[in-house]
Amino acid sequence: MRSWSSSAARRDRRRRRRAAVSRLDSFIRRLMAQRACLERAAELIRDLPGPVLELGLGNGRTYDHLREILPERQIYVFERMAAAHPDSMPPAEFFIVGEVREMLPAMWDRLPAPAALAHMDLATGDAMASQRLAAEVAPLLLPLLRPNAILVSEPALELPGLIALPLPGGVREGRYHMYRVG
């Protein structure tokens, strides 16, 4: 006869299997959240002039999407090592190569106008390190953004002057983050 504890363990295993999300699913959901937030941000800045700042070129996926949905905008891209897909390389004059914490202050005199949108995607896989980096980068980024500019970020940011915005429908709370500059 099966014991109560072994059937409880089986029930628990079944419940955990149902609740579990594979790493593939989690990756797909993150990309969908990223796309939804960038598209919402593009709508929100429709009447707000200024360039776009992309922090973290990586493979160039989000840069490529930004230039598709915001074809009229100048997009400045920050990255410490150029390793993007060749089709997703920014033009040299908009590609700021180096440590972002050093490059951002140099942009205070270089940007033609305060930015309308920034996307911070500097994560490297270590959640704590990414959180620390974002906390250091955000105060350097904020002076480059105009009032009412939108900041889309992973991870979450806590900074005076940033007002958290609701996420687009279908994006789970905490998966990605959107802020308006107050």
In order of 27, 29, 30, 76, 121, the CA distances from 24 in angstroms are 5, 9, 10, 30, 19
Interacting residue with ligand SAM among 61, 146, 175, 180 (CB under 6 A): 61
Which secondary structure element, helix H or strand E, spans residue 39, and what is its range? Answer: helix 23-44
**What value does the CA radius of gyration of the chain take, rounded to a whole number of Å?**
19
Phi/psi at 172 (5° precision):
-65, 140
Q: Which of residues 68-127 bind ligand SAM (CB under 6 A)?
A: 78-81, 99-100, 121-124
- Residue 74 token pair: 């100048």
54 vs 181 by CB, closer to ligand SAM: 54
Map the footprint of ligand SAM across residues 131-160, applying CB under 6 A.
133
Shortest separation between residue 14's beta carbon and ligand SAM, angstroms: 35
Q: Cβ of residue 81: shortest distance to ligand SAM, in angstroms? A: 5
- Does 26 sit near ligand SAM (CB under 6 A)? no
Cis before residue 86, ω within 30 degrees of 0? no
Please, what is the minimum distance in Å from the beta carbon of residue 47 to ligand SAM? 26
Among 33, 40, 51, 62, interactor with ligand SAM by CB under 6 A: 62
Closest to ligand SAM by CB, 58 vs 168, is: 58
Q: Is 60 in the site for ligand SAM (CB under 6 A)?
A: yes
Residue 16 phi/psi, 5-degree rounding, is: -65, -35
Pairing of strands 145-154, 177-181: antiparallel
CA distance 79 to 57: 6
Complex with ligand SAM: residue 79 or 157, whichever CB lies closer: 79
Interacting residues with ligand SAM (CB under 6 A): 56-62, 78-81, 99-100, 121-124, 133
